[in-house]
């Protein structure tokens, strides 16, 4: 791992942050995406489950990635976890020019999903990018998604927001893994508060992923009607009371997400 320079950055809140219901992940001032370093261009991305303990020295989040089976149990059988993960990837795939395929070996995967080796919080993502020219978008090199095996997880919504729906949590974390940040506290899947108010991508989520990867081939919906839909973006309404905030964080709002730049 020599030659890797790792830097942690508190993400600044740009003036445009959250406008349109999405916010693109910025690492060291660079937008990051999979595939070609051009906005609006799709990409093919592989993923795998960690089946052995992996250590990522330079990661801020998910440094110790334990086998995913640590998460499985009586209430969440492994085959259910696999199915829910597949469904979570499919949600982003349907909405954009992204395509995902599972590979057997985590060491060959673009996105690795595992259990936290040192459990904390609920779930985190770690994104690292490859070096590039001074200007423009940087290419994501690898992303990690880690879930806390000490937390209870469930499948589907039941109104109890202390136990997170695994698919919803995965959709959110995969959103980070493909280059999206939190637009704010609520109203979108990429918002940093857990909600059971909706179980699919919201207008801002769609605009965000389509800005990065374009629209999906089977997407016959009108394109990102950015301005006309803006006022429809839900931003409040179902916002949980602020006092409950700490119970419903996925990850710290505007959390410092580590990136790794190879010199």
Residues near Zn ion (CB under 5 A) are: 250-251
Q: Which is nearer to Zn ion, 127 or 260 (CB)?
A: 127
In the bound state with Zn ion, the residue whose beta carbon lies nearer, of 106 and 193, is 193
Minimum distance from residue 146 beta carbon to Zn ion (Å): 12
What's the closest the beta carbon of residue 124 comes to Zn ion, in angstroms? 8
- Burial track 215-235 (b if 16+ CB lie within 10 A, e otherwise): bbeeeeeeebeeeebeeebbb
Judged by beta carbon, residue 93 or residue 251, the one nearer Zn ion is: 251
Q: Mapping DSSP to helix (H, G, I), strand (E, B) and coil, where does residue 107 land?
A: helix
Q: Which is nearer to Zn ion, 43 or 170 (CB)?
A: 170
CB of 7 to Zn ion, least distance (A): 20
* Distant-in-sequence, close-in-space partners of 243: CB < 8 Å, separation ≥ 6: none
The minimum distance between CB 193 and Zn ion, in angstroms, equals 10
List the one residue out of 55, 2, 51, 9 whose CA is nearest residue 30: 9
Closest distance between Zn ion and the C-beta of residue 13, in Å? 15
47 or 67, CB closer to Zn ion? Answer: 47
- Strand, helix or coil for residue 260: strand
Q: What is d(CA 179, CA 211) in angstroms, rounded to the nearest whole number?
A: 11
The per-type count for the chain, helices as H runs and strands as E runs, is 4, 15
> Torsion angle, CA of 211/169/249/49, rounded to 10 degrees?
-100
Measured from the CB atom, is 66 or 257 closer to Zn ion?
257
* CB-CB contact of 199 with 170 (8 Å): no
Beta carbon of residue 194, minimum distance to Zn ion (angstroms, whole number) = 10
CA distances from 37 to 30, 133, 147 (A): 11, 10, 29
Classify residue 159 by its DSSP letter: S
Instruction: Pick the closer one to Zn ion by CB: 110 or 181.
Output: 181
Three-state DSSP class for residue 227: helix
Least distance from Zn ion to the Cβ atom of residue 123, Å: 8
């Amino acid at each position: 791992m020599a030659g890797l320079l790792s830097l942690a950055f508190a993400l600044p809140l740009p003036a445009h942050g959250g406008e349109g219901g999405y916010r693109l992940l910025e690492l060291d001032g660079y937008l990051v995406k999979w595939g070609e370093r051009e906005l609006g261009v799709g990409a093919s991305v592989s993923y795998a489950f960690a089946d052995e303990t992996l250590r990522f020295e330079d990661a801020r989040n998910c440094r110790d990635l334990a086998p995913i089976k640590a998460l499985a149990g009586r209430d969440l059988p492994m085959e259910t976890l696999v199915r829910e993960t597949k469904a979570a990837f499919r949600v982003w795939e349907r909405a954009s020019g992204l395509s995902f395929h599972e590979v057997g070996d985590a060491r060959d995967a673009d996105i690795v999903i595992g259990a936290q080796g040192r459990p904390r919080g609920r779930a985190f993502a770690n994104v690292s990018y490859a070096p590039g020219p001074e200007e423009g978008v940087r290419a994501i090199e690898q992303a990690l998604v880690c879930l806390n095996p000490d937390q209870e997880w469930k499948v589907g919504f039941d109104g109890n927001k202390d136990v997170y729906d695994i698919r919803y949590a995965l959709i959110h974390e995969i959103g980070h893994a493909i280059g999206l940040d939190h637009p704010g506290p609520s109203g979108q899947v990429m918002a940093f508060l857990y909600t059971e108010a909706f179980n699919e991508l919201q207008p801002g989520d769609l605009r965000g992923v389509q800005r990065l990867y374009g629209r999906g081939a089977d997407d016959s919906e009108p394109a990102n009607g950015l301005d006309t839909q803006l006022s429809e973006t839900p931003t409040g309404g179902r916002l949980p009371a602020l006092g409950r905030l700490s119970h419903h964080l996925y990850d710290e709002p505007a959390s410092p997400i580590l990136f790794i730049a190879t010199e």
